[in-house]
Structure 1
């Protein structure tokens, strides 16, 4: 009887240690799978990117409707984005337009768009719709209309009728042509080309950026982008 009683505390202690170890393992697994696109505030601005130097990605094509700024600007920012990504919308509203006002308008920065539709068929259709708007000179107006209407969290619903509404509010002049162009195999192929480029670079989430070949991941604070642009400007001078 006494020997059984003596073994009880030992068994309890062993069980407690096993539970503690299991808890640590679960915590480590969950932590390792945390979404890299969690709230931008949770990502330290000084965090090192998980991608290495990307090299020159900018096309610098004169008259490119999916670009802002001079083709010969000393700094280029390539954006990989999805219209259904809430963090892409945050970047558009909080950062992109501020950078355009400060650097694009001054001839120091060129911003080039790349479609990276990773949130389903509606993301793909929205990307094609953006290019359909671009054919009528209204890409950025359409782009901003979609992002301005995006919720702070979650993925917006972007069926064809809503994309048409965005085209109308963006001032696309020929809506019948816009609707026809959203069915264009050529535009769909252009989107797939962007998607393949991003995948080949190792991009796995949106938004993602290349500033003169230096990767920046996530909707980081505006100040971080300004710092990287200033470093690139200093290196280009």
Structure 2
């Protein structure tokens, strides 16, 4: 039998070796947030490594879909900076990012056209993770993904679980109008395929924990302080401003 198609470049090395752009010129550090084996403690482990080369970053940046019809994305399709977020609705650190950092990034950078956020479902904690991921996609088919996202990541929500009744309640809270369609879509093949595609992309770059991010191809892992994201976004925006459409320095 043929093996599943995975990226064949150096991309899988990136999250395995270096995953956070550190402040103050310290280079890169690895940061383990949550992982399927439960080893994530939420604390950082500093590990100096060599920086990946420009070709690797360019390949990673190319994972941005920039689809104007993407129901699991926020911001202009042609925004100069794309943040790809690989996350799990049952992940506590993903919830921290969603409540404490993401709203600031949306207000500061998405609203002014600088940043686009593209969500990737990366369920790694079992059946409820998978079910929540499919349900989020189903909510998105009725243009309620981000409302579902807010409801699912609300403070204390993780402890309520993500069983079928809970997912339906979240959909209702998110303003999903056709709940019967929501249930059908959650259980349908299209949702499973969409989630599997996102998972494959995450595993293909070597991501093993949630949340993990790419900012114009630069990896960041874990619910880092907001300042880490703002520095990375502003650096990416500055780089984009200095590159012409043909890859030459802008006039």
Same fold? TM cut 0.5: yes
Partner of 2:4: none
Relative distance call for 1:226 and 1:100 in structure 2 (3 A) is same
Q: Which of 200, 212, 216 pairs up with 2:216?
A: 212
Give yes or no for contact 1:84–1:155 (8 Å, CA) kept in 2. no
* Aligned CA-pair RMSD: 2.4
- SS of the aligned residue for 1:219 comes to coil
The 1:76–1:209 alpha-carbon spacing in structure 2 relative to 1, beyond 3 Å, is same
Q: Aligned equivalents of 1:198 and 1:105: distance in 2?
A: 27
**Deviation of 1:55 (Å):** 3.3
TM-score, structure 1 length as denominator? 0.79
State the TM-score, normalized to the length of structure 2.
Answer: 0.74
Gaps of 5+ in 1: 1-34
Map of 1:179 onto structure 2:
183
Q: Which of the numbers 167, 171, 174 marks the counterpart of 2:171?
A: 167
Q: Following the alignment from structure 1 to structure 2, what is the Cα–Cα distance between the partners of residues 223 and 157?
A: 31
1:124 corresponds in structure 2 to: 130
Matches within 5 A, 1:79-98: 79-98=85-104
In structure 2, what is the Cα distance between the partners aligned to 1:169 and 1:89?
17
Give yes or no for contact 1:60–1:71 (8 Å, CA) kept in 2.
Answer: yes
The structure where helix makes up a greater share of residues is 1
SS of residue in 2 equivalent to 1:182: helix
Does residue 115 of structure 1 match 2:116? no
Give the structure with higher Rg (CA).
1
C-alpha distance 222-73 of structure 1, shift in aligned 2 (>3 A): same
Distance 2:124 2:51 in 1: 19
Contact 2:61 2:215 in 1 (8 A): no
The residue aligned with 1:230 is 234
The answer to whether residue 77 in structure 2 is matched with residue 76 in structure 1 is no
1:172 & 1:235 partners in 2: Cα distance? 39
The verdict on how the C-alpha distance between 1:214 and 1:162 changes in structure 2, with shifts beyond 3 A counting, is same
1: CA distance, partners of 2:46 / 2:101: 14
1:86·1:155 contact (CA, 8 Å) conserved in 2? no
Structure 2: give runs of 5+ residues left out of the alignment.
Answer: 1-30, 34-39, 242-251
Pairs within 5 Å for 1:19-168 = 36-37=32-33, 38=40, 40=42, 42-43=43-44, 53=57, 54-150=60-156, 157-168=161-172
Instruction: Between 71-80 and 175-184, report the one with greater CA deviation.
Output: 175-184
- Stretch of structure 1 that moved more, 155-164 or 62-71: 155-164
Cα displacement string for residues 131-161 of structure 1 (whole angstroms, at most 9, x for unaligned residues) = 110011100000110001446xx77521010
Give, in whole Å, the separation in 2 of the partners of 1:176 and 1:207.
31
Residue 202 (structure 1) aligned to one of 206, 217, 240:
206
Distance 1:123 1:58, change over 3 A: same
Distance in 2, Cα, partners of 1:49 & 1:188: 37
Whole-Å separation in 2 of the counterparts to 1:47 and 1:68: 33
